[in-house]
Amino acid sequence: MAITVELVTTLDDLTGLLAVEEASFLNPWTREMYLAELENPGVSYLFVAKDPAGRVVGFCGFWRVLDELHINNLAVLPECRLQGIASAILGRILEEGRRAGAGRATLEVRRSNEAARRLYERFGFTVAGVRRGYYRHPEEDALVLWREGFPETAQNGT
């Protein structure tokens, strides 16, 4: 599927993002939480992936803190998964980080989320630690992943 990945700029983008959030997470962030993220430009960023019809099919939210990216959420609509959309989003996010001067990136992922772990591993993330009981409903440990450096190949997951 040909998609574009772009910064959230409209309330329609946010509405689409929220639909992906609701379909993807057991404890979704609220509209108010995302509106608060949008009020912190320069630190908080929201990108959406759109299909050729302009429908939001995925998104990623992250913070840039000094020289680090902190990836908060990355999700794709269930019916659009396994089509390279998450790779396109993550590649774009890492490219944005590189351009902004970030030298590394971090995130937490559920220990049981094998698909996400494989995606992040393809992009050079490695396990740096465990946060016991980090997730709720159901309770589960989070793996803390880090990626050092943003080489030019960041967009391809190589």
* Residues annotated as catalytic (active site), given as ranges: 108, 120
Nearest C-alpha neighbor of 14 from the set 36, 41, 27, 120: 36
CA-to-CA dists, residue 111 to 22, 101, 133, angstroms: 20, 30, 10
Report residue 29 as tokens: 């962030």
Alpha-carbon span 61 to 40, nearest angstrom: 12
The dihedral region occupied by 54, where left means phi > 0, alpha psi between -120 and 50, and beta the remainder, is: left
Alpha-carbon span 127 to 120, nearest angstrom: 10
Backbone angles phi and psi of 126, in degrees to 5: -130, 155
CA-to-CA dists, residue 3 to 86, 87, 123, angstroms: 11, 11, 19
